[in-house]
């Protein structure tokens, strides 16, 4: 249920979330892509902070957000949280 809630909220914010083979959640897009070329660090930091806020707001103890820039996707990935989080 935590993954479905996370995907739903991300989609509502304009992201296109997708599950990966490894079980992570990545976004196929960045709603702020027009700014990335000139302000990558700012945009990626903002996406990370937004992702962390979504996780906190959902009280999701199953996922963590971290930066992992990959071609063709948003710079943030949501992974399984370490046990004991």
For the cut 90, the answer to whether the pLDDT of residue 71 exceeds it is: no
Greater pLDDT, 79 or 37: 79
The position carrying tokens 């945009």 is 43
Q: What is the pLDDT of residue 84?
A: 52
**Per DSSP, which regions of 1-85 are E strands?**
17-19, 25-27, 63-67, 76-80
The per-residue pLDDT for range 13-70, each reduced to its tens digit, is 999 999 998 889 999 998 888 888 899 899 999 999 999 999 999 999 999 999 998 8
pTM: 0.88
Task: Judge contact between 78 and 24, C-beta under 8 A.
Answer: yes
Task: Judge contact between 18 and 28, C-beta under 8 A.
Answer: yes
């Amino acid at each position: 249920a935590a993954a479905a809630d996370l995907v739903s909220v991300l989609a509502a914010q304009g992201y296109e979330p997708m599950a990966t083979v490894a079980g992570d959640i990545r976004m196929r897009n960045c709603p702020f892509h027009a700014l990335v070329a000139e302000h990558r660090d700012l945009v990626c930091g903002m996406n990370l902070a937004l992702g962390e806020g979504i996780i906190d707001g959902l009280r999701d103890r199953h996922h963590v957000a971290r930066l992992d820039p990959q071609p063709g996707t948003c710079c943030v990935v949501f992974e399984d949280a370490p046990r004991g989080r």
